[in-house]
Amino acid sequence: MGALREKMIEEMRLRNFSPRTQKSYVAAMVGLVKHYRRSPDQLTQDEIRSYLLHLEERGLSPSSRNIAVSGLKFFYHQILGWTEQKLFIPPRKRTWVLPEVLSQQEVEQLLLATVKLRDRCLLMTAYGTGLRVGELVSLKLSDLDPQRMMIRVEQGKGRKDRYTILSERLLSLLQRYRRAYQPAHWIFFGKDRTRPLDISAAQKVYNLAKLKAGIHKGKGIHTLRHCFATHLLEAGVDLVTIQTLLGHHTIQSTQRYLQIRQQKLDSTVSPLDLLRLPN
C-alpha cells in the first residue's frame, strides 16, 4: 500500500484511534491487497464485496469480519473519499453470543493450577479486577491506589480512564509479587523489563493453567472478565456499578450477564415439571 498505508495510519492517529484499532484496520487492508495483489484504489465495489464473502467462506468469526468491514469502510470513505453509494456494504446483523463463565470452584482450580507466583498474580488480577487483557498487561505500579483500594485503568477501551476495585487479597499478593520480582514500571513485564508483558504471553499463562486444572470451557483469559461480572451480579451487586467497573459504554452490554447468572436459572422451574402427568 505504501503511501496510502501511511496516510491511513496518519488519519487514524489524528482521530486518536487506539494502537490496537490501528493495527486491526491496517491488517484488514493488507488482507484485501494480498487477496487481489493490486492497489486498493484500483479495486471495484464488486471486488470488495466478493472479498468480504470470501472471508465468510474462510470461516472467520462474525466479530473478525465486522472489524474487517470497519477497516475497509474507514479506508475507502476517509482516505479515498468514496461515498456510501460507491462503497455500499449492507448493514450486518449483529450476532450476540453469551460468554462462557467458570464457576467459583473452577476459578479456584484455575488459580491453584498455576506454579509461578507471577502467573497466579496475573490471573488473580484479571479475575479480581475485571480488566480486559490489554488493560491487564498495561498496568503500572502508579495505577495502584492502596489508600482508596482502587486501581486506575488508564486509557481503556474507547480511550477513557476509569477505576476498578482492588481487593485486600489481591493487594497482599501484589505486594508479595513486588518484593519477589521488583517491577520498575510495568507490573507485568516481559523478557525486556522496560516493556509490558505481551498479550499472547498472558493468554498462554491462562491456557496452561486451564489445561492443568482440567477445565474445558472458557476460550481465553477474557473469560475471567466475564467471571468477574457474573460473580459480582450473583453476589447482589447492581448492574450500574458493574457497568462502571467494566467500562461498558452502554448498560445493554452489561445486561447480558443477567442471562447467565446462576441463581436466576437455578430457581426457574421448567413448565414440564408443573404438568400433572402420571409417573
Backbone angles phi, psi at 79, to 5 degrees: -95, -45
Does the annotation count 225 as an active-site position?
yes
Q: Which of 65, 222, 226, 231 is catalytic?
A: 222
Q: Which residues pair with 264 in a beta bridge?
A: none
Q: Which of 65, 118, 120, 132 is catalytic?
A: 132
Instruction: Give me the sheet containing 150-156, strands edge to edge.
Output: 144-145, 150-156, 160-165
Does the annotation count 120 as an active-site position?
no
Q: Which of 73, 77, 157, 178 is catalytic?
A: 157
Q: Which of 49, 152, 248, 256 is catalytic?
A: 248
Does the annotation count 157 as an active-site position?
yes
Distance of CA 26 to CAs 45, 149, 156, 192, 274, Å? Answer: 19, 39, 21, 27, 57
Rounded Cα distance, 64 and 12, in Å: 19
3-class DSSP state of 169: helix
Does the annotation count 159 as an active-site position?
no
Distance of CA 159 to CAs 39, 140, 233, Å? Answer: 32, 17, 26
Does the annotation count 15 as an active-site position?
no
Does the annotation count 132 as an active-site position?
yes
3-class DSSP state of 18: coil
C-beta of residue 8 within 8 angstroms of C-beta of residue 79: yes
Instruction: Provide the annotated active-site residues.
Output: 132, 157, 222, 225, 248, 257
